[in-house]
Amino acid sequence: MPEYFLGCLPVLILLILAAVLVWPVIRCAWQRYQLERRIRALGDQAMQHVMLDDGMGGQSYFEWLLLTGEGICLLNTRQHQGNIFAAERLENWAQVIGSRSHHFRNPLYELEPLTATLRYHLPDVPLQAAVLFSGDCAFPKGRPPAVLTRAELPQTAEPRNIPLALQQAWSQLTKKTRALDPHTEGHLQPHRETPAAWRLWLSIALGGLASGWLAWCLWAWL
């Protein structure tokens, strides 16, 4: 019996290595799922990664469109960490992590042409626009009104009374949008920091090797 367990020891080692490699991938996927679930809870209905004619011969990309009781909301997300120093009309914002700082363009400016596109299609519908900072960040000098943080997202969806006019406007909008083509338009999507793909493939390979080793041990001892 001890020899049997000794023979299976490499299986345990391979499984532990596979688990260590794949854990960041699983954690990232779970966090993304939770974030998207909480974003969808902001509205009664939602569309993600869609394109819409901008009225000037071009196409506008919308990361999120949400139907709420107050109107239609467009939402962009950013994954910044650390302390964010921002103001509504400040051209460049700053991200500070420890002693390092990084400046980036005011993301609220990106909402203006998107709002204009929605206004072109839905001139009489109440519209809202916001940027969600989904990372672990803080705004020590104040947060602009159109900025949301992850802590403000609802945990679960709540029943809403959506006026008929808004339901009809949403129905019209869904007919005018199309899904983003990831092959030709994938560059429009926001950048996400995700674990390297090799972690998943290597963990699968190690899991397969462990399964084969275990099968060989069982065959040898039966």
Tell me the pLDDT of the chain (222 aa) as tens digits.
Answer: 455 555 567 777 777 787 888 888 888 889 889 999 999 999 999 999 999 999 899 999 999 999 999 999 999 999 888 999 999 999 999 999 988 999 999 999 999 999 999 999 999 999 999 999 998 899 999 999 999 999 899 888 788 889 999 999 999 999 999 999 999 998 888 877 777 777 778 788 877 777 776 776 666 666
- Please tell me whether residues 186 and 206 are part of one structural domain: no
In 34-99, the DSSP E strands lie at: 45-53, 59-68, 71-78, 82-85, 92-97
- Please tell me whether residues 79 and 184 are part of one structural domain: yes
- Please tell me whether residues 26 and 65 are part of one structural domain: no
Q: Are 95 and 101 in contact (CB under 8 A)?
A: yes
- Please tell me whether residues 126 and 173 are part of one structural domain: yes
pLDDT of residue 135: 85
- Please tell me whether residues 60 and 96 are part of one structural domain: yes
- Please tell me whether residues 9 and 74 are part of one structural domain: no
pLDDT of residue 156: 84
Provide the residue type at 195 as one letter.
P
pLDDT of residue 44: 93
pLDDT of residue 1: 47
pLDDT of residue 7: 58
- Please tell me whether residues 104 and 128 are part of one structural domain: yes
- Please tell me whether residues 197 and 186 are part of one structural domain: no
Q: In terms of Cα–Cα distance, which of 205, 202, 195 is closest to 30?
A: 195
- Please tell me whether residues 58 and 158 are part of one structural domain: yes
- Please tell me whether residues 186 and 127 are part of one structural domain: yes
pLDDT of residue 5: 55
What residues have CB less than 8 Å from 105, skipping those under 6 apart? 91, 92, 93
- Please tell me whether residues 202 and 173 are part of one structural domain: no
Specify the number of domains making up the chain. 2
Cα gap 60→118, rounded to integer Å: 9
- Please tell me whether residues 91 and 159 are part of one structural domain: yes
Range of the domain at 138: 46-191
- What stretch of H or E contains 216? helix 197-221
